[in-house]
Amino acid sequence: MRGISKNFGPVKANEDVNLEVAPGEILGLLGENGAGKTTLMNILFGAYQPDAGQIRVNGSPVTITNSADALAAGIGMVHQHFHLASRLTVLENLLVGMPGRNGRLDRAGTLARLAAIADEHGLKLDPDSPVSGLSVGEQQRLEIVKALFRGARLLILDEPTAVLAPSEVEGLFAALRSMAGQGLGIIFISHKLNEVRALTHRCVVLRHGKVAGRIDAPADTTASEMARLMCGHEIVPPVKGLSRPGEPVLALAGISTAGHAGMKLHDVSLTVRSGEIVGVAGVSGNGQRALADVVSGMVRPSSGEMSIAGRKVTAFTPVEVQALGLGRIPEDRMTTGLVTNLPLADSMVLPRIGTAAFSSKGLLRPGAIRTFAEEQIRAYDIRCPGPFVRAGALSGGNLQKALLARELAFDPRVLIAAQPTRGLDIGAARFVHEKFLDLRSKGCGIVVISEDLEELLVLSDRIAVMYEGRIAGIVDAADATVARLGMLMTGAGQTEVGKAEAREP
C-alpha cells in the first residue's frame, strides 16, 4: 500500500500511509484506538475507498472497490466482530458468495476442501453445526477457514485475541505460524504489545492516521518503546494512592439468574466497600453481562440478595438502584447508553427524568435540563457544539464522558462500569481511569467489568474472575498476575484456596 489517505469529513483517518508485507511474513499493525488501523485494513479489504494512494499485489496495481475484488486479489480478513450468520450452518457460511456447480450449491466439493484445510493447519470444524452452536474460538476458526477457502495469500486479523482466553491465544498463534510457514502473508492488528512482540516479524505503528514508526525486530523492542511510538509520549500510569476501604456499599450474596439469556449466574457473592475498586475479569461470555444486568437493575435474580449502601434491593429496577445510590456505565454506549438521534441533553437526563431534578408533576423542566447539560459539558470538557446536538455526532471519548457525567453528577455511593474504555483512544481512556481513581479516593466503591486485563491490573484493589457464571476466584492486587488470572479465567485455577476466596465473608 503506497501513499494511502482517507478522510471522513474533517477527520483524517489515514494520511499518506506506506505498508508492505512479504510472503511468509507476519506484520504487526500497531496503534491505539482511533489511530487508523481498522480504516487502513478496511481499505485493503474493499470496505472503504481511499481518497488517495495505490495498492499493489505481487507487484501489479489493483483496484479494490469491494470485498469481491479483495478476495479475487487473494486478500482475506478476519474482522473483530465476526462476519457470520449465526442461524446458518458452518457449511453455508463458507459457501456464501462462491459460485455453485450447475446452479446448485456444491456440498461435496466443499466438504472435501474443508477436510483438507483442517489437516493442513489443524483448524477443525463440524460442517453442519449452526454457527450459534460454536464457541467464540471456533467461530474465529471458521472466519480464518473462510479466508483460506477463497485462496487468500494475505490474511488480515483485526484484534483477534480480544475475545480469546490466554490458552486459546496459543492455539491461534500456532495456526498463524503454520500458515506463514506455507508462504501466506499475515497482518496482525493489535494493541496488546506483548502478543505483538511474541508473534510478529516486523511492525508498523500508526498514530493519528500517519505512520509513526517501523519496528524491524519486535522481539527485541520493549513494550514501553512500542507504547511510546503509539502515542508519542511517555505513558505514565495514573497514580493509585493507598485505599482505605470502609463500609460495604454493594453486597451480592448467592445471586443466581435463571431466566437470563446467555450465561447464567450461579451463586455469585461479592462485596465492594467504599473507597475500593473491584475489577471483574473473565473471557467474554462467562457471566459478566448477567452480573452487570443484575446490579444495574435490569434483571431480577432468581435467588440471592443484593444490597446497596446497606439497603436491600427489592424491585430490581433501574429507578430503584439509582435511588439507592448506584451509578451505572453501560457496556454499549451507543446502543444502551445513549439515544443517538435525540439531542445529547435528552440522553444525559434520561435515567433520572422522573425525578424532581428534571421534571415536576409529569411536566418536564426544560430550563433545569438545559442547565444540567451545559454544566456537565463544561465540567467534563465534552467536545460538542452544544447540549442539543444529536448525540450520535459525538466521538466515543466524548460520549463516555457524557455517560460518566450523568452518573457522577448525582454523587453515587457505588459505581458499576462495564468495558469503560472499549474503543477509546489512550487520552480518553486515561481520563476515565483518572476519574475512577479520583472517585475511589473520595470514598466511592467501584466495580469495573473489563476484558482488558491490563486495565484491571492498573485500577483494581481486588480482582474477581468470572468463569461459567461463577466467581472462580478473587485475587488481591498485590498477588494478581496475568498468569494467575489467566488460569482462573479458563477454570484451571480453581483450587481449594481459590474456592475459599470466592466465598465472601
Partner 1 sequence: MTLRLEARQRTPAWMNLALPLAAVVAALVLCSGLIALAGAGVFEAYGVMFSSAFGDSYAITETLVRAAPMIFTGLAVAVAFRAKFWNIGAEGQLLAGAIASCAVGAIPMPGPLAMLLMALSGAAAGAAVALVPAILRVRLKVDDVVSSLLLNSIIFYALMALIEGSWKDPLSGYPISPPIEDSANFPVLMEGTRLHLGVLVALLAAPVVWFVISRTTLGFRIRVTGENPEAARYGGINVQRVLLSAAILSGGLAGLAGVGEVGGVHFQVMSDISPGYGYSGIVIAMLARLNPLGVVPAAIFLAAVMTGAEAMSRATGVPAFLSDVIQGTALLSMLVALLFTAYRIRRTGGVS
Partner 2 sequence: MSAVLDQIFQVGFLAAILRIATPLAFATLGEMFSERAGVLNLGIEGIMLLSAMTGFTAAYFTGSLWLGVLAAAATGALMGALHGLFTVVLGLSQHVCGIGITLFSSGIAYFFYRLIFGQQSVPPSIDGFKPVAIPLLSHIPILGPAVFSQFSLVYLAIVAIPLSAFVLYRTPWGLSVRMVGENPRAADSAGVSVIGTRMTAVILGGALMGLAGAFLTMAQFNAFTFGVVSGRGWVAIALVVFGRWDPWRSAGAALLFAFVDALQLRMQASGLGHIPYEAFLMLPFVLTIVAMALMSRNAVAPSALLKPFRREER
Interface contacts to partner 1, rule CB under 8 A: 9, 49-54, 63, 296-298, 317-319, 322, 328, 330, 335-342, 346-347, 350-351, 353-354, 359, 362-364, 366, 385, 389-390, 392-393
Count helices and strands in the chain by DSSP H and E runs: 17, 22
Q: Which does 353 bind (CB under 5 to 8 A by kind): partner 2, partner 1, none?
A: partner 1
Q: Does 427 bind partner 2 (CB under 8 A)?
A: no
Specify the 3-state DSSP secondary structure of 41: helix
Question: What does 235 bind: partner 2, partner 1, none (CB cut-off 5 to 8 Å by kind)?
Answer: none
- Measured from the CB atom, the residue of 10 and 362 that comes closer to partner 2 is 10
φ/ψ (deg, to 5) at 393? -80, -15
- Choose from partner 2, partner 1, none: what does 306 bind? Cβ within 5-8 Å by kind: none
CA atoms within 13 A on the CB side of 470: 14
**DSSP annotation string for 440-499:** HHTT-EEEEE-S-HHHHHHH-SEEEEEETTEEEEEEEGGG--HHHHHHHHTTTT--HHHH
CB 464 within 8 A of CB 476: no
C-alpha closest to that of 395 among 414, 376, 409, 381? 381
Nearest to 44 by CA among 63, 26, 29, 24: 63
Q: From partner 1, partner 2, none, which one binds at residue 111 (CB under 5 to 8 Å depending on kind)? A: none
Taking CB under 8 A as the criterion, the residue among 58, 63, 86, 336 binding partner 2 is: 86
- Asked whether the beta carbons of 50 and 5 are under 8 A apart, the reply is yes
389 scored as a contact of partner 2 (CB under 8 A): no
Q: Segment near partner 2 (CB under 8 A), from 74-82, 118-126, 153-161, 374-382? A: 74-82
Binding partner of 116, given partner 1, partner 2, none, CB within 5-8 angstroms per partner class: none
What's the rounded Cα separation, in Å, for the pair 174 and 19?
A: 25
Which segments of 96-233 does DSSP mark as H helices, in order?
Answer: 107-121, 136-149, 166-181, 193-199, 223-231
The option from partner 1, partner 2, none interacting with 12 (CB < 5 to 8 A, set by class) reads none
| Shorter beta-carbon distance to partner 2: residue 67 or 307 | 67
Selected range binding partner 2 among 88-96, 133-141, 265-273, 344-352, rule: CB under 8 A: 88-96
Cα distances (Å, whole numbers) of residue 367 to 319, 364, 370:
23, 9, 5
Q: Is 111 in the site for partner 2 (CB under 8 A)?
A: no
8: contact with partner 2 by CB under 8 A? yes
Q: Residues 263 to 302: which contact partner 2 by CB under 8 A?
A: none
Q: Which residues contribute to the site for partner 2 (CB under 8 A)? A: 8, 45, 47-48, 66-68, 71, 77, 79, 82-88, 92-93, 95-100, 103-105, 146
